[in-house]
Amino acid sequence: MNKNKSSFINGLLTENPVFGLYLGICSTLAITTSLNNAIGMGVAVIFVLTFSNIIISAMRNIIPNEIRIPVYIVIIATLVTIVEMLIHAYAPSLYSALGAFISLIVVNCIILGRAEAFASKNGILASAMDGISMGIGYTLSLLVMSLIRQILGTGILSFSNPFTDATIFSFTIIPENYVISMFKDPTGAFLTFACCAAALTAYINHKKKKEASR
C-alpha cells in the first residue's frame, strides 16, 4: 500500500505528466484559458485514461504484439467518441469551448503512453489506479495553468455549472485596469507553462541536493 501511495504522489508531483514529462502539452496550452475548460478537459481525460487502461490491461494477453498500437488507438478512439457525444449532449457550452480538443484527446500522448508503458504489463486494478493518478496529475496541472492565466488575464476567478451554465462563484481579484490581457493569448500560455515547468525542475533539483547532502 505504501508503495502505491508513493507512486500516486510521484504521478502528481515529481513525475507530473505535463510539467515533468512534457506529455499532453498541446491541450494544456490550448484550453487553460478558464477554470471551467480546465476541469471539463481534466474530467474527460481521467475518464478516457482510466477506462482505456482497464480495457487494455484486461485484453493484454490476447492482443498480438505486432498490431498492439493500432488496437490501442481504436480502443482509445472509441472511448473518446463516447466522451465527445456525452459532452455534446449534456454540456453544450463546454463542447463549444473545448472545440476540436475533445477529439484530439485521441492523440494525447499521456493516454497512449500509459497504455504502452503501464497497462500492457500490469493487472487491471493497478492499471485503473495508474490511470486515475496520472489523470489527476494532468488535471492538477491544468488547474494551476488556468488559475494563473484566468486571474492574470481577466482578473476574475469564476466557475459555472457546465450542465446549466449557472454561475457557482465569481470573484474579482485584479481590477479591470490592471489586467494583463496577454495571458489570455498564446504568448501567455507558453510563458505560464515555461515558468511552471521551471518551478517543478527547481523543486526537484532542490530535493535531490537535500538528499545528496544527507
Residues that bind another protein (CB under 8 A): 22, 25-27, 29-30, 69-70, 73-74, 77-78, 80-81, 84-85, 100, 103-104, 106-109, 112, 182, 185-191, 193-195, 197-199, 201-202, 205
In the complex, least distance from residue 18 CB atom to another protein, rounded to whole angstroms: 11
CA distances from 83 to 59, 136, 205 (A): 21, 17, 38
For residues 23 and 129, which CB has a smaller minimum distance to another protein in the complex?
A: 23
C-alpha–C-alpha distance, residues 110 and 57, integer Å: 16
Which residue from 101, 56, 106, 60 is spatially nearest to 80, judged by alpha carbons? 106
In the complex, least distance from residue 76 CB atom to another protein, rounded to whole angstroms: 8
For residues 35 and 79, which CB has a smaller minimum distance to another protein in the complex?
A: 79
For residues 64 and 175, which CB has a smaller minimum distance to another protein in the complex?
A: 64
**Helix ranges, 59-185 (H):** 68-90, 92-98, 109-114, 124-154
**Residue 192 has which C-alpha cell?**
505560464
For residues 116 and 124, which CB has a smaller minimum distance to another protein in the complex?
A: 116
In the complex, least distance from residue 169 CB atom to another protein, rounded to whole angstroms: 28
Query: Which strand (E) or helix (H) includes residue 159?
Result: strand 156-160
Map residue 168 onto helix, strand or coil.
strand
In the complex, least distance from residue 135 CB atom to another protein, rounded to whole angstroms: 18
